[in-house]
């Protein structure tokens, strides 16, 4: 039987990096998705194809993996999910993805979540959201070596979530429609950025621990600002979080330029979203997203509106 599942990308609003040190974080699912379709194959190999990112690979019992077109990057997540949650029966896998890849917007988590969910349907397995999120986190950990459960949780559950210190997830209220712009470039490897922060932590433990605590306070206050729709406060807290991310060493010149460009164009707040070192920024500008997008684009950056997605993984 054919099976299809899709899952959204994400943007972290507060608490990236600090979440690795068991601090809280706030993230939202965005309206850009990855879709995986699985069909039975009558060939003696499994094929994986994505027209929109120019990817083609086959896996055969005789020759193993053969990459015919594209890069291995995102494919690693599909391969690991197949290794863990599929038998050796040949299948045809199609990937369609709207999330910019390698920009810190959760493309790998979305592909992993969608692959696991589609495999569950294909194998007629009873599945639950917590189980999908848990297995997707396992795949990310295997592929990346280090990852908090934030990306895979938000991609599975959707909405706007608060991940607390005990890694418990709560959906929270927040009006972010028509408010968010993402500016993006190619990102640095997340694992590399996490390691860089760890090294700074080892050199200056007292200072960096205080910064992580300050990020945690910012995140907690931002939760209240979201729940009360205090826009000015939310924007200011984003700018504070940005200063703290700069202090832990994940900012770059082009991220800074995108951040200040969006503030000058009227954003109430803007900051890195995700691992930094390249990658993406998020700007908060209720009802004035167009101006921010135009200004960023005029400067040669990629920019798009990011509306929240209530839906997490969808199995069809």
Residues marked active site are found at 151
**Torsion angles phi and psi, residue 236, rounded to 5:** -65, -40
What burial class does residue 264 get, using C-beta atoms within 10 Å of its C-beta: 0-12 exposed, 13-18 middle, 19+ buried?
A: exposed
* CA proximity to 15, closest of 155, 134, 149: 149
Question: Which two tokens mark 46?
Answer: 């499994």
Single out the residue of 35, 7, 20, 31 nearest to residue 190, CA to CA.
20
| Contact positions vs ligand MEV (CB under 6 A) | 12, 16-17, 19-20, 104, 147-148, 150-151, 190, 194, 274-275
Work out how close the CB of 112 gets to ligand MEV at its nearest, in angstroms, rounded to a whole number.
Answer: 13
With respect to ligand MEV, which residue has the nearer C-beta, 118 or 194? 194
Q: Which is nearer to ligand MEV, 147 or 201 (CB)?
A: 147
For ligand MEV, the closer of residues 104 and 158 by Cβ is: 104
Shortest Cβ distance from residue 105 to ligand MEV (Å)?
9
Q: How far is the CB of 145 from ligand MEV (least distance, A)?
A: 10
* Minimum distance of ligand MEV from residue 141's CB (angstroms): 9
Residues 268 and 266: their CA atoms lie apart, in Å, by 6
C-beta of residue 173 within 8 angstroms of C-beta of residue 226: yes
Q: Report residue 173 as tokens.
A: 């209220």
Smaller CB distance to ligand MEV: residue 46 or 108?
108
Q: To the nearest whole angstrom, how small is the minimum distance from the Cβ of residue 33 to ligand MEV? A: 17
- The answer to whether 107 is a known ligand-binding residue is yes
Give the nearer residue to ligand MEV in terms of CB position, either 46 or 107. Answer: 107
Known binding residue 105? Answer is yes
Let me know: does 255 contact 297? Beta carbons within 8 Å: no
For residue 205, the tally of other CB atoms under 10 A from its CB is: 10
161 φ, ψ to 5°? -120, 150
Q: Is 100 annotated as a binding residue?
A: yes
Q: What angle do CA 135, 30, 298 make, to 5 degrees?
A: 135
Q: Is 104 annotated as a binding residue?
A: yes
Q: Which residue has the tokens 């930094």?
A: 276
Q: Is 101 annotated as a binding residue?
A: yes
Longest dimension (CA), the chain: 61
Task: State which residue has the least CB distance to ligand MEV.
Answer: 148
276 labelled as ligand-binding?
no
Rounded distance between C-alpha atoms, residue 288 and residue 278, angstroms: 25
Residue ranges of the annotated binding site are: 100-110
Residue ranges of the annotated binding site for ATP are: 100-110
């Amino acid at each position: 039987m054919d099976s299809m599942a899709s899952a959204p990308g994400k943007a972290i609003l507060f608490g990236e990096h600090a979440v690795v040190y068991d601090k809280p974080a706030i993230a939202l699912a965005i309206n850009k998705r990855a879709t995986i379709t699985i069909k039975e194959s009558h060939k003696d190999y499994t094929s994986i194809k994505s027209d929109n990112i120019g990817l083609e690979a086959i896996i055969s019992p005789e020759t193993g993996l053969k990459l015919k077109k594209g890069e291995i990057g995102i494919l690693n997540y599909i391969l690991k999910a197949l290794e863990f949650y599929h038998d050796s029966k040949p299948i045809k896998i199609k990937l369609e993805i709207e999330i910019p890849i390698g920009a810190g917007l959760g493309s790998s988590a979305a592909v992993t979540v969608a692959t696991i969910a589609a495999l569950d349907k294909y194998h007629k397995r009873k599945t639950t959201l917590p189980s999908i999120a848990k297995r997707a986190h396992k795949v990310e950990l295997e592929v990346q070596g280090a990852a908090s459960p934030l990306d895979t949780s938000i991609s599975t559950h959707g909405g706007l979530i608060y991940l607390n210190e005990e890694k418990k997830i709560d959906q929270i209220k927040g009006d972010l429609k028509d408010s968010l712009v993402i500016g993006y470039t190619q990102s640095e490897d997340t694992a590399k950025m996490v390691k860089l922060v760890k090294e700074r932590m080892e050199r200056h433990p007292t200072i960096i621990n205080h910064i992580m605590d300050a990020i945690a306070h910012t995140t907690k206050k931002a939760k209240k600002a979201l729940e009360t729709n205090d826009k000015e406060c939310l924007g200011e807290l984003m700018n504070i979080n940005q200063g703290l991310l700069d202090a832990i060493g994940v900012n770059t010149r082009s991220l800074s330029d995108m951040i200040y460009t969006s503030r000058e164009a009227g954003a109430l707040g803007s900051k890195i979203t995700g691992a930094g070192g390249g990658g993406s920024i998020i700007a908060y500008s209720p009802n004035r997203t167009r101006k921010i997008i135009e200004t960023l684009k005029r400067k040669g950056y990629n920019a798009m509106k990011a509306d929240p997605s209530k839906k997490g993984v969808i199995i069809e």
